[in-house]
């Protein structure tokens, strides 16, 4: 069974905070730890759709 992730405002996009972590770890290993600048990491999300607890949880997941 596939895990269920939070849905963004776009029906084709789910929110998976660990995804950028996994991508950066893969890039570090595969390409000998290159210098990377992340200029944007966003999703289509209407803040009104999320409770403050879910928003804080998603932010915490991204930062840790």
Q: Assess if residue 22 is contained within a domain.
A: yes
Beta bridge partners of 15: 6
**pLDDT tens for each residue of 6-63:** 777 778 877 787 888 899 999 999 999 999 998 876 667 666 655 565 666 665 555 5
35 is in which domain, residue-wise? 6-62
Q: Assess if residue 53 is contained within a domain.
A: yes
Structurally, the chain folds into a number of domains equal to: 1
Q: Assess if residue 1 is contained within a domain.
A: no
Q: Which two tokens stand for residue 59?
A: 């932010």
Question: Which one, of 59, 52, 55, lies nearest residue 20 by Cα?
Answer: 59
pTM of this structure: 0.53
Compute the distance between CA of residue 57 and CA of residue 38 in angstroms, rounded to an integer. Answer: 21
Residue 38: what pLDDT? 86
Q: Assess if residue 47 is contained within a domain.
A: yes
């Amino acid at each position: 069974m596939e895990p269920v992730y939070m849905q963004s405002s776009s029906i084709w996009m789910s929110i998976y905070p660990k995804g950028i972590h996994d991508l950066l770890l893969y890039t570090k290993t595969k390409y000998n730890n290159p210098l990377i600048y992340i200029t944007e990491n966003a999703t289509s999300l209407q803040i009104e759709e999320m409770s403050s607890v879910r928003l804080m949880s998603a932010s915490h997941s991204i930062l840790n």
